[in-house]
Chains A and B, each alone.
Chain A
């Protein structure tokens, strides 16, 4: 069954898009991060223009994070103060990111930049995950009940000015740090269409030293508003948000997420992470091949200027 995507300006099979959304939702349910970082490259593979894929994916992230935030908020797992400080950086970062996106689109380099950033990001995450799961696997085989190492040491965090007390996270750290992290995630979110949870969550645990219980809820809080900001700005300045596409991805995600969380409860975590790492590396290498392969035609037309 084909459906016409009005902004992407092409027909696409409904079930392919639902399946993509479901796959992303499955990952979200399994690993507690949004599946955007895999869904966007897959959308590009099936032929959606990268600029439309990114902007529509940001729209989908809103649905994903509100759905997860609903639960986290009720359980009291959101550090509102930390969330707001992160958001401060996130809003500035995503606004700057959309401006950068618009500029890159105008000079005709946006598709290239998206592909390169995805290759870098996915191969880094994939390799890290792969090594981490291999190490855990080997360590557990050698020493099943070994002591856990120290998670983090933070000297820099304690020396920066503008210290704030975060009661819920039981932290007394400089506000500059979460603002900076929020900013970086905001830029990433605007250019790649991801929520950024897969970067934000480790950053909150390892750099800020937040307790894991409040990490997911707080990151979802920040992601929700950043994704909304990106969606709004992309729609207002670039007109690249395809709501039909986003809605199909959301519907697929709604179906996929609970399946993912149930699967995650049954399967061993190490194997799961190893599998995920291989999947991510495959997508990265496919994107890299696209960049290296001699194109069929050297010429293309940049999209016609939109004249309102």
Chain B
């Protein structure tokens, strides 16, 4: 336990140092871009003397921010996951967005015009899926550590809804279309992220979140593997949500549609009346 505390203090110092350099990301190309804001929140949310809340003695994990806030200036964000473990071992991180039904649409040419002709809903589709590992994933998973699923394995388990007339090949095509769209939006990053291990026991990885990020509570699971077996796992929820005035408006639009509609009408009446009156004076 004493060694753990020492290492954590070391880790805190490491992060502070990174923040002072202009950002927690050590990789040179993107470092300075989002530095000040992220660095600031690292300082406030994680005083170096306080150990991370979640963890078992073998594995301690924390995130640079407690939540992803979609503000009116949100352009995507990179979040630092860091922690330490009792060596030896390898680290795998799996981030999954909230699962829900997604409907994939396929376009076809009809009389020269492109329109959506096929629809296939799937249940239990994660809004976002990202895996990072400290070693090539195939090698780590070779011995079948059942719980950790690659994107392909995870998507193999999503359930197509209804449509008994579709052959498995057609379902597979729609599944491929789903991955294609999600990739394009940066929600299913194609590359496996690299977890870097320092001093044999500290690890860190950047989690990339794109600008059009679905809201909800994401799950960040960190696994410690030894000889291909999971010996420890830590799960942390990561809420993603809109904040500020835009969140208020979007919330009203969804939950108070009637009131929102009346408000929109009053706003337009007022603006049109006043605007018209003013412009006629000029």
Would you call A143 an interface residue if the criterion is a C-beta within 8 Å of the partner chain's C-beta atoms? no
Q: Identify A254's interface contact among B177, B181, B279, CB under 8 A.
A: B279
Please tell me if the beta carbons of A250 and B264 are within 8 angstroms of each other in the complex. no
Q: What residues on B are CB-neighbors of A10 within 8 Å? A: 212
Q: Which residue of chain B is the closest to A10 with respect to CB atoms?
A: B212
Would you call B275 an interface residue if the criterion is a C-beta within 8 Å of the partner chain's C-beta atoms? yes
Interface of A (DSSP majority class): helix
Would you call A137 an interface residue if the criterion is a C-beta within 8 Å of the partner chain's C-beta atoms? no
Q: Contacts A62-B269, A241-B261, A301-B105; is A292 near B113 (CB within 8 Å)? A: yes
Q: What residues on B are CB-neighbors of A65 within 8 Å? A: 272
Binds B, one of A146-154, A177-185, A197-205, A227-235: A227-235
Binds B, one of A1-9, A156-164, A188-196, A263-271: A1-9
A247 CA to B269 CA, complexed, in Å: 11
Q: What residues on A are CB-neighbors of B174 within 8 Å? A: 299
Q: What residues on B are CB-neighbors of A246 within 8 Å? A: 264, 267-268
Please tell me if the beta carbons of B253 and A251 are within 8 angstroms of each other in the complex. no
Please tell me if the beta carbons of B177 and A241 are within 8 angstroms of each other in the complex. no
- Beta-carbon contacts of B151-190 to A below 8 Å, as 1s and 0s? 0000000000000000000000010011011101000000
Q: What residues on A are CB-neighbors of B102 within 8 Å? A: 301, 304
Interface residue tally on A, bucketed by range: 35 or more
Please tell me if the beta carbons of A305 and B101 are within 8 angstroms of each other in the complex. yes
**How many Å from the CB of B212 to the closest CB on chain A?**
7
Please tell me if the beta carbons of A250 and B271 are within 8 angstroms of each other in the complex. yes
A283 CA to B46 CA, complexed, in Å: 54
Please tell me if the beta carbons of A291 and B114 are within 8 angstroms of each other in the complex. yes
**How many Å from the CB of B149 to the closest CB on chain A?**
21
A306 CA to B257 CA, complexed, in Å: 12
Would you call A13 an interface residue if the criterion is a C-beta within 8 Å of the partner chain's C-beta atoms? no
Please tell me if the beta carbons of A9 and B212 are within 8 angstroms of each other in the complex. yes
A246 CA to B269 CA, complexed, in Å: 12
Q: What residues on B are CB-neighbors of A257 within 8 Å? A: 276, 279
Q: Contacts A4-B72, A6-B253, A292-B114; is A60 near B268 (CB within 8 Å)? A: yes
Q: What residues on B are CB-neighbors of A46 within 8 Å? A: none
Q: What residues on A are CB-neighbors of B278 within 8 Å? A: 254
Please tell me if the beta carbons of A235 and B253 are within 8 angstroms of each other in the complex. yes
Please tell me if the beta carbons of A232 and B105 are within 8 angstroms of each other in the complex. no
Q: Contacts A6-B250, A70-B277, A243-B249; is A299 near B269 (CB within 8 Å)? A: no
**How many Å from the CB of B16 to the closest CB on chain A?**
32
Please tell me if the beta carbons of B72 and A243 are within 8 angstroms of each other in the complex. no
Within 8 A of A (CB), among B79-137: 100-109, 112-116, 119
Q: Which residue of chain A is the closest to B115 with respect to CB atoms?
A: A112
Would you call B255 an interface residue if the criterion is a C-beta within 8 Å of the partner chain's C-beta atoms? yes
Please tell me if the beta carbons of A247 and B73 are within 8 angstroms of each other in the complex. no
Would you call B214 an interface residue if the criterion is a C-beta within 8 Å of the partner chain's C-beta atoms? yes
Please tell me if the beta carbons of A63 and B269 are within 8 angstroms of each other in the complex. yes
Would you call A59 an interface residue if the criterion is a C-beta within 8 Å of the partner chain's C-beta atoms? yes
Please tell me if the beta carbons of B104 and A301 are within 8 angstroms of each other in the complex. yes
Q: What residues on B are CB-neighbors of A295 within 8 Å? A: 107, 114
Q: What residues on A are CB-neighbors of B178 within 8 Å? A: 299, 301
A302 CA to B271 CA, complexed, in Å: 34
Q: Contacts A108-B119, A234-B261; is A250 near B113 (CB within 8 Å)? A: no
Q: What residues on A are CB-neighbors of B267 within 8 Å? A: 59, 243, 246-247
A11 CA to B242 CA, complexed, in Å: 13
Please tell me if the beta carbons of A298 and B106 are within 8 angstroms of each other in the complex. yes
Please tell me if the beta carbons of B116 and A109 are within 8 angstroms of each other in the complex. yes
A241 CA to B253 CA, complexed, in Å: 8
- Beta-carbon contacts of B214-255 to A below 8 Å, as 1s and 0s? 100000000000000000000000000010001101100111
Q: Contacts A232-B261, A239-B257; is A297 near B184 (CB within 8 Å)? A: yes
Q: Which residue of chain A is the closest to B263 with respect to CB atoms?
A: A243
Q: What residues on B are CB-neighbors of A305 within 8 Å? A: 101
Q: Contacts A9-B212, A299-B181, A300-B105; is A254 near B260 (CB within 8 Å)? A: no
What are 8 A-B pairs with beta-carbon distances under 8 A? Answer: A7-B250, A59-B264, A112-B113, A232-B262, A258-B282, A299-B104, A299-B180, A302-B103
Give the interface of A toward B (CB within 8 A). Answer: 2-4, 6-7, 9-11, 59-60, 62-68, 70-71, 107-109, 112, 116, 228, 231-237, 239, 241, 243-244, 246-247, 250-251, 253-255, 257-258, 291-295, 297-302, 304-306, 308
Please provide the 10 A-B residue pairs with the shortest distance between their CB atoms, ordered closest to farther.
A63-B272, A67-B276, A235-B261, A299-B177, A254-B275, A62-B268, A4-B72, A6-B246, A232-B261, A66-B272
